[in-house]
Amino acid sequence: MTAALTPRNVVIAVLMLLLAAVPVYAAVTANTFLVTLFTRVIILGMAATSLNLILGYGGMVSFGHAVYLGIGGYAVGILAQEGASSGFVQWPVAILVSALFALLVGALSLRTRGVYFIMITLAFAQLVYYFGVGLDRYGADDGLTIGRRSQFAGLLNLSDRTQFYYLCLALLVVTIYLIARLVNSRFGMVIQGARSNDRRMRAIGFPTFRYRLTAFVIAGAICGLAGALLANHTGFISPATMHWTRSGDLIVMVVLGGMASSFGPLIGAVALLSLEEALPVLIRVSASPMFGDAAVRMAEYWQIVLGPLFLLVVLFARGGIDGLLAGVRRG
Amino acid sequence: MADPLLEIEALTKRFGGVIASDAISLCVPKGELHAIIGPNGAGKTTLIGQLAGEIAPDGGRIRFEGRDVTALSVDRRSQLGLARSFQITSLFLDFTALDNVALAVQAHAGHSFRFWRNARREVELRTPARAALARVGLAAREDVIVSNLSHGEHRQLEIAMALATTPRMLLLDEPMAGMGPDESARMVKTLRELKRGLTILLIEHDMEAVFALADRITVLVYGRIIASGPPEAIRANAEVRQAYLGEQEDRHG
């Protein structure tokens, strides 16, 4: 594959350069808000990238993917509260517990198809959500404040915004690269084949279940790491992190950015979270000459604009934003 | 008789009150092209489904190379060398023709827990896949996305994929369904070549093709075998003429 100078590659290159430049810009302008916002974008972009492996490439519509954000976050929070603040312990635990949970959910849900699959993944996520709500020792409904960031024996200081930002960006890039390798490997051909026609896959001799389950576990493990990052970012973890609406957000990012595309989920995360920040401001500014103070309240309904935008992308750009850039309509 | 490759013994399948397979017993020796004919609803596709492992029979046995495969899964039977094509085209429509066949090769080239190398650049997958495409006459179409191929090309690709699994036996479910005369003629030619090296169980409505190709023919009506023998015997069989061949005139399919 040669990196041609297509519009899509240019946009992706510019996007990555801009992401790399955010802390520099923030340092020059003394604007820490942008670093905070884009750290979040990157972490959720990583979560969406992991979801894309099973949703975009594998055709498995998991409606409970945010549960791994919660599991990863609680792994950090609970271990921190119990005195184990080393990231060398917390992060592997976050990944491992997420992987084990994915193994359990996948082993049961992947035997079903379509709506049943969606409902089972959703049910498991909600199960953990209510488990979190009942966790009195760890803040229950109100969540758990994480006083101390994950410690990396002095190698990294996660309390330093810039260091943490670049760590997240590096992990995102590694994730995108690994998944790009994965989906083009023999393993990737199997999960894509199973998305396309599972019956035929079995007829030509593939025991597809074990491959799809493996993909499901890999996606969960990566999202668990994203959860550990998110908890470090906000210094807080609560059941709300794994509410089903958060799983919905991740699906929106993947679909909006472009399913089965390497950078699509990141583009989707940038687009969705930027719109979340920008739309209220835009509505307020553009409506205030006409409506005065009422414009502030109108801005609260920014989702009325976001909804139709999303609808347009789904209806007219089946490959999401990435598909528009590539000028290809995926069937 | 040569070694039996496939032995079916009293295979029975019911769907509610309908008996789709009524104690079917059949033996296909190595190297034979055995055709199964019968009116619509005779249970031909149900029989193939049971042989391939997609439908579990209610009774009876299936032996392949002397081994009881009645309880084996679809993918295990494929690994043993029993390959099927589908009556209704069942392909990976969003992949190229070559990718389709390469997947079939990959299925029989060890496990696929290989996460790093680009599968589309593996010579050991691409070369046999190209060879299978060439055998069915699709060599020039390897880079075309399958949804853009014609119906006839889909049928040929179906065969190429079955071939790419290096099978010992092919189960072909109406490979000529919906084909024009030219395409049918080409398919007959392809099947005649395949017949040299492979044992084939063929379900087909195209009588001209069946009588041209088959070594033996079994006639299935309402899930029951009413006759089985060489083409001349079947053509001369009064019961068959009445039950099936005669019905060609007033079809009510």
Model confidence over B195-239: pLDDT tens digits?
A: 988 999 999 988 889 999 999 999 999 999 999 999 999 999 888
Work out the average pLDDT over B149-177.
92
Residue B159 corresponds to which amino acid? I
Residue A293, min C-alpha distance to chain B (Å): 53
Q: Do B75 and A205 touch (CB under 8 A)?
A: yes
Three-state SS at A2: coil
The reported pLDDT for the residue numbered B2 is: 59
User: Torsions phi, psi of A19, nearest 5?
Assistant: -60, -40
Q: Do B103 and A214 touch (CB under 8 A)?
A: no
Query: Could you identify the residue written with the tokens 């299935």?
Result: B220
Query: Could you identify the residue written with the tokens 């019905």?
Result: B247
Q: Looking at the predicted structure, is the pLDDT value of residue B253 above 60? A: no
Chain A residue at shortest CA distance from B104? A204
CB B139 within 8 A of CB B115: no
Helices marked H in chain B:
44-52, 74-80, 97-107, 123-135, 151-164, 181-197, 207-213, 231-236, 238-240
Q: Please state the length of chain A.
A: 331
The reported pLDDT for the residue numbered B250 is: 47
User: Torsions phi, psi of B34, nearest 5?
Assistant: -110, 120
Q: Which of A196, A202, A211 sits opposite B92 (nearest CB)?
A: A196
Q: Looking at the predicted structure, is the pLDDT value of residue B71 above 70? A: yes
- Name the nearest CA neighbour of A26 among A210, A165, A168: A165
Interface of A with B (CB under 8 A): 181-182, 184-190, 192-193, 196-197, 199-208, 211, 214, 330-331
* Structure tokens belonging to residue A204: 């030509």
Helices marked H in A64-204:
66-81, 87-109, 114-133, 161-184, 186-203
Tens-place pLDDT, residues A80-107: 999 999 999 999 999 999 999 999 999 9
Q: Is residue A9 part of a domain?
A: no
Q: What is the domain range of residue A150?
A: 36-326
Indicate the number of domains in chain A.
Answer: 1
> What is the full DSSP assignment across A108-125?
HHTTS-HHHHHHHHHHHH
CB B203 within 8 A of CB B172: yes
For an interface test with A, the pick among B112, B123, B148 (most A C-beta atoms closer than 10 Å) comes out as B112
Chain A residue at shortest CA distance from B163? A204
The CB density around residue B56, as the number of other CB atoms within 10 Å, is 10
Q: Which of B54, B108, B118 sits opposite A185 (nearest CB)?
A: B118
CB A82 within 8 A of CB A93: no
The reported pLDDT for the residue numbered A154 is: 87
pLDDT < 50: residue spans in chain A = 1, 329-331
CB B62 within 8 A of CB B8: yes
B154 interface with A at CB cutoff 8 Å: no
Three-state SS at B224: strand
The reported pLDDT for the residue numbered A246 is: 96
* Structure tokens belonging to residue A167: 């760590």
Measured between alpha carbons, how far is B155 from B136 in angstroms, rounded to an integer? 10
- Name the nearest CA neighbour of B21 among B174, B225, B244, B228: B225
Question: CATH number for the domain including A97?
Answer: 1.10.3470
Triad A279, A52, B97: Cα angle to 5°: 125
Q: Is residue A278 part of a domain?
A: yes
List chain B domain ranges: 1-81+167-253, 92-166
Measured between alpha carbons, how far is A264 from A317 in angstroms, rounded to an integer? 13
Over the range A24-62, which residues count as b (16 or more CB within 10 Å of their CB) and which as e? eebeeeeeeeebebbbbbbbbbbbbbbbbbbbbbbbbbb
Three-state SS at B86: coil
Residue B154 corresponds to which amino acid? H
Q: Do B91 and A214 touch (CB under 8 A)?
A: no
ipTM of the complex: 0.87
Put residue A95 in one of left, alpha, beta given phi > 0 → left and psi -120 to 50 → alpha. alpha
Q: To which H or E segment does residue B23 belong?
A: strand B18-29
How many CA atoms are closer than 13 Å to the CA of A319, on its beta-carbon side? 15
Measured between alpha carbons, how far is B159 from B134 in angstroms, rounded to an integer? 11
The reported pLDDT for the residue numbered A2 is: 56
The reported pLDDT for the residue numbered B93 is: 94
Tell me which CATH code domain B1-81+167-253 carries: 3.40.50.300
